Structure 1
Amino acid sequence: MQILQPARNKSLQAIPQDISKLVSVSDDVQGILKKSCYDCHSNNTEYPWYAYVQPIHWFLDSHIRSGKEELNFNEFVGYTFRRQQNKLRAIENSIKDGTMPLSSYTLIHRNAILDQREKSVLLKWVQNSRDSLNRKNLTGL
């Protein structure tokens, strides 16, 4: 079982479709997203040591694939305007109701838990991003 290792979620390529190419992402926001979101919602996962043990890796891989299907920050530019707006709204809702990051993830990754300041920063960023996208859509940029 240890011999069969699924491919890792690691991309060494430039990311032309990243959300930061479309909306402003401050260093503070980028740090929060990387710490609490990117393991499951980007093309680059930071794997813990136990990810190299089967069947744990298969379980993690399934979560990562599901997370990326739902939202991938590295593919955000390729989404339609409507989907971009829906994803930003979903981010806002999941922060407000505390459903993200998943409790099964934060059980082991305690540093991924969002504190009140981080939640406020992300909520403000989401609103600014939605406004920015609306302006771009109205002006046809």
Structure 2
Amino acid sequence: MSLVKKVLLPLLAVFILIQFIQPAHNKSTQIMSTDITKIYNVPDNVQIALKNACYDCHSNNTSYPWYSNMQPMAWLMANHIKNGKAELNFSEFGLYTTRRQKSKLKSIASQINDGEMPLSSYMLMHKNANLSKDEKALIINWAMKTKDSLSAK
């Protein structure tokens, strides 16, 4: 057997076997009472931008593309989602302390302003996550106004 066959056949077998090891999907059928949209006034245009650019990794309901069923992409996505939700989870925003909510709102504004979010790797595969200047300004203004309203309380 040639060297190519000795290497490629085991690799192919491993690739096929790993397809059976699927991570759990981040899907919820309901909007929780702790969702940011349930506790704060989120204008429709801001909500649409957040859902397009943020909610897949920062909520309890991810919209999965076709390639999410193939390994190792599914593992990579599951890790991104796990890390994203650990940093900020819009679905559980109401469970955060007021101090943490203010910090997260400030962080949303600064990371969008600095171009750190959404991730460029995410925008590569999700064109609607590429926020326009106006969408960025909408989210930043809303986040800062909401943060300021918490400070006033």
**Same fold per TM (> 0.5)?**
yes
Report deviation, 1:14: 3.7
**Greater percentage in helix:** 2
Paired with 1:30 and 1:111, the residues of 2 have a C-alpha distance of 13
Contact 1:23 1:133 (C-alpha < 8 Å) held by counterparts: no
1:63: which partner in 2?
80
Which residue number corresponds to residue 106 of structure 1?
123
Matched, 1:28 2:33: no
| Deviation readout 1:29-71 (Å, 9 max, x if unpaired) | 1100000000000000000000000111000000000000000
Residue pair 2:55, 2:61 contacting (<8 A) in 1 also: yes
Please provide the CA RMSD for this pair: 1.0
TM-score normalized by the length of structure 2: 0.85
For 1:72, the equivalent position in structure 2 comes to 89
Q: Distance in 2 between matches of 1:29 and 1:14?
A: 17
Percent of matched pairs sharing the same residue:
52
Equivalent residue for 1:85, pick from 98, 102, 105: 102
Greater RCO (CA < 8 Å, at least 6 residues apart): 1
With the length of structure 1 as denominator, give the TM-score of the two structures: 0.92
Aligned equivalents of 1:100, 1:14: Cα separation in 2: 23
Name which one, 1 or 2, has greater alpha-carbon Rg: 2
- The alignment status of 1:42 with 2:59, answered yes or no, reads yes
- What displacement does 1:127 show? 1.6
Aligned with 1:107: secondary structure? helix
Distance, in Å, in 1 between the alignment partners of 2:91 and 2:97 is: 14
- After superposing on structure 2, the runs of 4+ consecutive aligned residues of structure 1 that deviate more than 6 Å are none
Question: Displacement, 1:22?
Answer: 2.0
**Deviation per residue, 1:63-100 (Å, 9 max, x gap):** 00000000000000000111101101110110110000
How far off is 1:23 after superposition? 1.4
Instruction: Return 5+ residue gaps in structure 1 as ranges.
Output: none
State the match for 1:9 in structure 2.
26
Count residues in correspondence.
136
One-letter identity of the residue aligned with 2:78: D
Q: Which residue of 1 aligns with 2:70?
A: 53
Q: In 2 relative to 1, CA 96–75 (structure 1 residues): closer, same or farther, beyond 3 Å?
A: same
